[in-house]
Structure 1
Amino acid sequence: MTISRRQVLTGGAAAGVGLTVAGALPTLAEPAAAAAGNNGNGNDVKAATGRPFPPLQDDPKGILALPAGFSYTIVTREGETEMSGGQGKTPAYHDGTGVVGSTKNNLTIIQNHELTPHMSTYGVPHIEGTVYDPGAENAGGCTVILTDRSGRPIEEWVGIAGTVRNCAGGVTPWGTWLTCEETFINAGATWSANGHTGTYQKNHGYVFEVLPNDSKYQLPKPIKAFGRFEHEALAVEPNGKHVYISEDASGPNGLFYRWSNTENIKLQSGLANRLDETVGKLEAMQIRLDDGSVLPDVAYLTSAQLGRPFKVSWIEVPDRDAVTKTTRTQFADGQVTRGKKFEGVWSTSKGCYIVNSFAFGANDLPADATKHDGMVWFYNYADETITLVTYFPHNPAAETEGASPKYADLTFDGPDNVTVTPWGTLVLAEDGVRASHVLSSVPGGPTYAIARNMLSIGTSNGSPTYSEFTGPTFSPDGKVLFVNIQAPGITLAITGPWEKYLG
């Protein structure tokens, strides 16, 4: 099906809510259904208005710029902090992270490490009881981290190893972590890196469950029911009826999926043993326009459609294990709604937030669609509608320029991971081309910088470049925001008067 941007813009958008986005600071409009939600830890929350954060102050240590009144603690750092039981140094490339447990004294965090074999000196070591694919040496996986209630580190150990490019994932209602492989590799494929070579012994591109238990009590087994593709992140519907999964892939652009629990199986710890590989249905999203046609790509929607719900339908993936064709290529144009870089996903009691990072490259979007520097959506579980709730208009400078110190905290792009705060607002981690920020996105209000990465990892066009932020996640009481710098891999616990600005 061929559809023009003009058709989308004139196809009833005026009947919805149109919010103007001015300058480099977009606004976020929370749909009514999301005004009361869940912070991912079972606590009901109310929508907040928030207050502007104070200007960021440079860190004398050159790591993290923060507003006055806020401070950070380093929880783990690749190659420096030690894991318990002689398991070695903290692995590199920290990515998706979730707080999965909370006691009177401690917090339990599970963290992804987005690595391919021997990509770094500090891959996830193959510890007995944690290994999925022995052929994926010194590659990705997850670590389990224990801190005190203020985020100060206590210990860390391996949760899963022998997986590849563990990007993001999601916290489950029963207190575990579902980690997603952002890759598609067949058993028998070879790899070579940094003087090492090897052969994958198993297929990759799956979701795995990581338990908050010791290494020897883990379950390194893929949940094949959730499909095989370049998974990014996911959200479990609180009632257990559906799991929503994003795909960060191109050629063609990725899809947004829903696994439906058609047999009403109780979802709980040990999911890989509870779900047969063919149980339920894996479906791809179709955003419907007023005439019933399928929107072919999310990039046709712009700030003109902010706050306007679109109906969603779902179409079953014929071959979820992608034996002959990748899942996203099993659909013809016009059958599904695609998007460049479907990224972070986070559940509330009413729905889930979904991020598209950007689309401005030559092959990122249809020729007549609109370039953008980021989108955030809200999918309503009950209504089966999706609403654009924040929009970052494209700044052409993002394609060619590095960070400008003068404007570093005023130009945002490339939202990636997302979390919902205990007050109902959002925190976004940037993976853009300018300065890298942690952002506060306020429903019905502006987006503020709440942290900036000061660790330069190189230059581009004479300007410094910075690694992305990943894995924002709050402690249930809202006192600690955990966030990662991906390279060099550092986990930070940020404390301060959060409620004053988010509540």
Structure 2
Amino acid sequence: MDRRSVLRTTVAAAGGAVFSGSLWTGALAAPAQPGPSPYGPLGAADANGIQLPAGFTSRVVARSRQTVPGTSYTWHDAPDGGACFVAGTGWVYVSNSEIASTGGASAVRFNADGSISSAYRILGNTNRNCAGGATPWGTWLSCEEVSLGYVYETYPLGGTAAVRRPAMGRFNHEAAAADPVRQVVYLTEDESTGCFYRFRPTVWGDLSAGTLEVLVAGSATSGPVTWARVPDPDGSPTLTRNQVSGAKRFSGGEGCWYADGTCWFTTKGDNRVWAYDAVNQRIDLAYDDSLVSGTAPLTGVDNITGTRSGDLYVAEDGGNMEINIITPDEVVAPFLRIGGQSSSEICGPAFSPDGTRLYFSSQRGTSGSSSGGITYEVRGPFRS
């Protein structure tokens, strides 16, 4: 998008989840290129093994198979996708568990000062819950990353049972992002020949019924697109991605984030960040590691989130175990790096509702095993 675009900030905080970010107007001028981070270079690793820019600090929030500090709740294995929600004067961070058959999702509730008040289960006995997405009405969509997997709508504040949402399609789900303007939910598919979907609820705010559509386009990496209805969202006997002729293929759909008319999503097979312009119905490349000048700072692209300033934060599955920032003027640079955990991946980046704290997990930690997951918090002078 135009590097000199005037930035506009909007916030829609219905239900507690923050959907905001600067408007990157027009078509992308070119995919993002390496450059200096707005936060400066990374410093030496701290006591948690994390390299951060000056002024930022980290703490460990939870470890798999250990009780969350200040609670009696044991944190889940293989923490993955996550999001934050307003909870009274504090907030909640939810996290999926990418474990077969018993996956589900958990939550940590924070007081206004950032101290932990409680932790608890919000979904259980589901299959490889990888990523997902927050809704404007304050629920968390937890997605199963298995063939014919489901989306589950969960309740971060607890006290309400999760609900399966089959109308949103059965396929190898990864992430979801709600667009409150067009009243749709975008969905990625983690397959080497996967698709990009949107779900149109019959009634906005009620995901029990609606229409599943798939993006249709040519082979180009930019240009106009259309949408077509998926005839059978159940995906049996014909998989959803094979039901519509001309459905555009994406190489391993991963993270998904909506802000100000654009849905950003990542594909791990080709290390790309895509921008779907929902206003003009077109796609463009926001980042492609094969098109950068010099050494690509961002590889193994995975989960993605954004901020009010319009900055995108993209977590790596592998790579250098970094979270990279992509700015509205199309600069990509490392924001943090985790050392000594090369057999892990970074998952679930999400900002607290006030934008001052970033949560994320190392799925397998230093052990390289799903039982070694670590969930972190980073505080500092994030751009607002």
Deviation at 1:243, TM superposition (A): 1.2
Partner of 1:474: 351
Question: Is the partner of 1:482 in helix, strand or coil?
Answer: strand
Counterpart of 1:444 (choices 329, 334, 345) is 329
Partner of 1:348: 259
| Structure 1 residues 83 and 320, CA gap change in structure 2 (3 angstroms) | farther
Contact 2:194 2:241 in 1 (8 A): yes
Q: Structure 1: which 5+ residue stretches go unaligned?
A: 1-27, 117-135, 185-203, 288-293, 302-308, 360-373, 396-406, 457-464
1:63 to 2:1 alignment = no
Counterpart of 1:257 (choices 197, 200, 215) is 197
CA–CA distance in structure 1, aligned partners of residues 7 and 210 of structure 2: 27
CA–CA distance in structure 2, aligned partners of residues 233 and 39 of structure 1: 20
Partner of 1:391: 288
Counterpart of 1:494 (choices 368, 378, 382) is 378
| Structure 1 residues 357 and 222, CA gap change in structure 2 (3 angstroms) | same
Deviation at 1:112, TM superposition (A): 0.7
Partner of 2:64: 78
Select the structure of larger CA radius of gyration. Answer: 1
- Matched ranges for 1:109-188 at <5 A: 109-116=93-100, 136=101, 139-149=102-112, 151-184=114-147
| Structure 1 residues 283 and 52, CA gap change in structure 2 (3 angstroms) | same
- Matched ranges for 1:251-330 at <5 A: 253-261=193-201, 263=202, 265-267=203-205, 271=207, 275=208, 279-287=209-217, 294-295=218-219, 301=221, 310-330=223-243
| Structure 1 residues 319 and 32, CA gap change in structure 2 (3 angstroms) | farther
Partner of 2:32: none
Contact 2:151 2:165 in 1 (8 A): yes
Counterpart of 1:431 (choices 300, 317, 321) is 317
Deviation at 1:39, TM superposition (A): 7.8
1:174-219 deviation digits (Å, cap 9, x = unpaired):
11111110102xxxxxxxxxxxxxxxxxxx60101110233xx333
* TM-score, normalising length: structure 1: 0.66
Partner of 1:208: 152
Question: Is the partner of 2:167 in helix, strand or coil?
Answer: helix
CA–CA distance in structure 2, aligned partners of residues 222 and 37 of structure 1: 31
Question: Is the partner of 2:225 in helix, strand or coil?
Answer: strand
Report the residue type matching 1:412 in the other structure: L
CA–CA distance in structure 2, aligned partners of residues 110 and 34 of structure 1: 30
Contact 1:422 1:476 in 2 (8 A): no
Counterpart of 2:22 (choices 46, 49, 59) is 46
Counterpart of 2:177 (choices 235, 251, 269) is 235
Question: Is the partner of 1:429 in helix, strand or coil?
Answer: strand
Report the residue type matching 2:282 in the other structure: T
Of stretches 319-328 and 158-167 in structure 1, the one that deviates more from structure 2 is 319-328
Report the residue type matching 1:46 in the other structure: S
CA–CA distance in structure 1, aligned partners of residues 43 and 99 of structure 2: 32
Counterpart of 1:99 (choices 84, 97, 102) is 84
Report the residue type matching 1:478 in the other structure: G
CA–CA distance in structure 1, aligned partners of residues 265 and 85 of structure 2: 20
Which one has the bigger strand percentage? Answer: 2
CA–CA distance in structure 2, aligned partners of residues 43 and 321 of structure 1: 29
- Number of residues of Structure 1 aligned to a counterpart in Structure 2: 363
Partner of 1:414: 300
Deviation at 1:440, TM superposition (A): 0.9
Deviation at 1:74, TM superposition (A): 1.0
Question: Is the partner of 1:435 in helix, strand or coil?
Answer: coil
1:397-443 deviation digits (Å, cap 9, x = unpaired):
xxxxxxxxxx9xx73212111111121110110113x3110111112
| Structure 1 residues 164 and 32, CA gap change in structure 2 (3 angstroms) | farther
CA–CA distance in structure 1, aligned partners of residues 127 and 81 of structure 2: 14
CA–CA distance in structure 2, aligned partners of residues 426 and 490 of structure 1: 22
1:338-369 deviation digits (Å, cap 9, x = unpaired):
0111111111132211111233xxxxxxxxxx
CA–CA distance in structure 2, aligned partners of residues 33 and 243 of structure 1: 27
CA–CA distance in structure 1, aligned partners of residues 316 and 272 of structure 2: 12
Partner of 1:248: 190
CA–CA distance in structure 2, aligned partners of residues 343 and 30 of structure 1: 26
Q: Structure 2: which 5+ residue stretches go unaligned?
A: 25-34, 366-372
Contact 1:165 1:182 in 2 (8 A): yes
CA–CA distance in structure 1, aligned partners of residues 164 and 6 of structure 2: 34
Question: Is the partner of 1:393 in helix, strand or coil?
Answer: helix
CA–CA distance in structure 2, aligned partners of residues 179 and 237 of structure 1: 17
CA–CA distance in structure 2, aligned partners of residues 150 and 392 of structure 1: 39
CA–CA distance in structure 2, aligned partners of residues 327 and 421 of structure 1: 32
Question: Is the partner of 2:38 in helix, strand or coil?
Answer: coil
CA–CA distance in structure 1, aligned partners of residues 326 and 97 of structure 2: 26
| Structure 1 residues 449 and 150, CA gap change in structure 2 (3 angstroms) | farther
